Chains A and B, each alone.
Chain A
Amino acid sequence: MIRYLIRRLLWACALFVVITIVTFVIFFMIPVNPAKQACGQRATPTCIKNTTHTLGLDRPVSIQYLRFMDRLVLHLNLGRSFVTRQSVNKTVLNAAPVSASLVFGGAIVWMLIALPVGILSALRPRSTLDRTAMVFVLIGISAHPVWIGLIFLYFFAFKLGWFQIGGYCNFFHPVGGCGGPVQWAWHMVLPWATFAILFTALYVRMIRANVMEASNEDYVRTARAKGAPEWIVIRSHILRNALLPVVTMLGMDIGVALGTAIFTESVYGLPGLGKTALDSISSFDLPVTQGIVVFATLSIIFFNLIVDLLYAVIDPRIRLT
């Protein structure tokens, strides 16, 4: 177990270095001078020259990367924004809870729907529920979150007025007039729904397939031959096996979801990581972009690690290998 953990952690470090290097290199491949952007529309050559020096852009990329890593590893400091000169740590920490609300809330929503629907349609294939669910799955996979978001906003927020048209409310303290758990949840309902649709569709399909496959296994027949009642057969023989891969998928998809969250955050104007990343990329703000990449990488690595450990606990076949 300890060796397994150490091996996983070493992999995580390697992954981290590779991803940060790639982000750096990609950034410097773009033929734009960040200093010019930072100086604004009336950039004078002096300003550009000074800014280039202040930002450290006049040094080789390798040195910049090493300085970045040095700051990050030794001081846990992501630097300052090229554009606003604000601390990137602060920017990321402000945006992260918004994305976390969206992604985790969304994950809970999609699992709450996908689990029962997937299981029931697998146990009763070709039933009305199964057919309805499959049509929904097709729509959910095909429809883009931006489109769904706009439709939801138009009907539920603008036409019916049940919800605010976008915006975010802090869970803890009121910022600019709204705050607290109730307001927070109220503002998140539409984003959650929009965000969860794609994943609900994918998960219904995956859970259904897994449960159907497990139902045909020989050990399920063995359980019936033992005289086990149907609910025990389903609970402790079919579902135990069918839901194992779902745990892995969930861990990986939380990471993927951070990427998909960009669309939902843009539509609803949520100041999360996705929207911040989008803004920083369009203003060629390397430190902020890099900061978000670092944060996202770390959280994906973290979730995968959790899933791997969890998997080793729930699947006996992994424990000893």
Chain B
Amino acid sequence: MALLEVNDLKTHFRTDDGIVKAVDGVSFSIEKGQTLGIVGESGSGKSVTCLTIMGLNSRVNTISSGAALWKGKDLLKMSTRQLRSVRGDDIAMIFQDPMTSLNPVKSIGAQLIEAILLHRDVSKKQAKARALELLKAVGIPRPERRIDDYPHQFSGGMRQRVMIAMALINDPDLLIADEPTTALDVTTQAQILNLMTKLQADFGSAIIMITHDLGVIAEIADEVVVMYAARVAEQAPIDNLFRRPHHPYTWGLLGSLPRLDTDVERLIQIQGQPPSLLNPPKGCRFHPRCPYVMEICKMTEPDLLPVSHDPEHFQRCHLDEDTKDREAAKLTHMGDAA
């Protein structure tokens, strides 16, 4: 049984302008100790997917359907109490902006200890020892002196380390990281990614890494889900995806990635804007921006189907194999990244 199996997940928000279908039929699964990358541009529904799994969307205007089976039990059908015991214990989450994700008036020690005491029946002293252990593991220098400091006394990178420590403190089976490096500068990004890879080896947690950066995905993921306009565009094991990307949107993402080993005048850019989810385009959702658009793309939406010679690779595109071979070949050097 998969650790987490998401089936046809839909999250719709009621707004004054109508219903925004932020996630519209997303399925994937993740095994123990595995890393799944979810990639897509802003507004493609990747964060909402994970917030829905965690039950963290505002209850007032959200309609969710489908299933998110956690070790066989549906998270979407759990009571608040059951869900609370899963959150922060079995599934933990790291957020995008470490500057605002920690409570400014509580010491980081107090926030770490709170995370333990919510789930474990241990003394405050034991909890503090565990907090120190984790701060050390995430590379905070002299943790016994920093544990009583407040968030404003830490830099962005250090705060994200604290967030990671807080997420891992109860040894979760799954860690959801929602763009954990986006708000950090480039050198710090690399440090945080290395730290996460190292900790994954030590703690054995599975990771869902949400990002808009295929470079990050190449670095740490085993399996990739490419999301576009609330749906999965392409889904494959990492090597397969980088060896032979099938969807023009994935090509666009790869083409817009700066690389050291090729000399490109200008990065290729995906034309246009992501569609409004209030009123998504008919047919293939990518067709208004797709350079290979055909008549059929405007009429019918392609299904997410396995690639003929690569059954673990799923894609949602009408293009014929020959065209795909030709176009994807232009990007083959991307295979090196994986």
Q: Contact residues of A with B, CB < 8 Å?
A: 217-219, 221-229, 232, 236-237, 240-241, 244, 314-317, 320
**Residue of A whose beta carbon sits closest to that of B86:** A227
> B171: CB under 8 A from chain A?
no
Complex-state Cα separation, A74 to B92, whole angstroms: 66
Distance in Å: Cβ of B290 to nearest Cβ of chain A: 35
Q: Contact residues of B with A, CB < 8 Å?
A: 54, 56, 84-89, 92-93, 95, 97, 100-107, 114-115, 118-119, 150, 152-153, 163, 166
List of B residues within 8 angstroms of A240 by Cβ: 103, 105-106
Distance in Å: Cβ of A210 to nearest Cβ of chain B: 13
Complex-state Cα separation, A232 to B113, whole angstroms: 14
Given A227-B115, A227-B118, list of 8 further CB < 8 A pairs? A218-B100, A221-B101, A225-B92, A227-B88, A228-B84, A232-B114, A237-B103, A244-B105
Cross-chain contact B150 with A317 (CB below 8 angstroms): yes
Cross-chain contact B84 with A223 (CB below 8 angstroms): no
Distance in Å: Cβ of B231 to nearest Cβ of chain A: 25
Cross-chain contact B103 with A229 (CB below 8 angstroms): no
Cross-chain contact A227 with B101 (CB below 8 angstroms): no
Question: Residue among A226, A314, A316 with the most chain B CB within 10 A?
Answer: A226
Cross-chain contact B100 with A217 (CB below 8 angstroms): yes
Distance in Å: Cβ of B83 to nearest Cβ of chain A: 8
Complex-state Cα separation, A222 to B164, whole angstroms: 12
Cross-chain contact A225 with B93 (CB below 8 angstroms): yes
Cross-chain contact A225 with B97 (CB below 8 angstroms): no
Cross-chain contact A316 with B150 (CB below 8 angstroms): yes
Cross-chain contact B101 with A219 (CB below 8 angstroms): yes
Cross-chain contact A222 with B118 (CB below 8 angstroms): no
Cross-chain contact B103 with A223 (CB below 8 angstroms): yes
Cross-chain contact A222 with B95 (CB below 8 angstroms): yes
Complex-state Cα separation, A314 to B105, whole angstroms: 8
List of A residues within 8 angstroms of B152 by Cβ: 316-317
List of A residues within 8 angstroms of B97 by Cβ: 218
List of A residues within 8 angstroms of B88 by Cβ: 225-228
List of B residues within 8 angstroms of A241 by Cβ: 103-105
Complex-state Cα separation, A164 to B152, whole angstroms: 55
List of A residues within 8 angstroms of B86 by Cβ: 227
**Residue of A whose beta carbon sits closest to that of B103:** A219
> 10 nearest interchain CB pairs?
A227-B88, A226-B88, A227-B87, A218-B100, A316-B150, A219-B103, A225-B93, A218-B101, A227-B84, A226-B115
Partner of A228, one of B54, B92, B114: B114
List of A residues within 8 angstroms of B119 by Cβ: 227
Q: Can you sample 25 A-B contacts with CB below 8 Å?
A: A217-B100, A218-B97, A218-B101, A219-B101, A219-B103, A219-B104, A221-B56, A222-B95, A222-B101, A222-B102, A222-B163, A222-B166, A223-B103, A225-B56, A226-B118, A227-B86, A227-B89, A228-B84, A228-B88, A241-B104, A244-B105, A316-B104, A316-B105, A316-B150, A317-B104
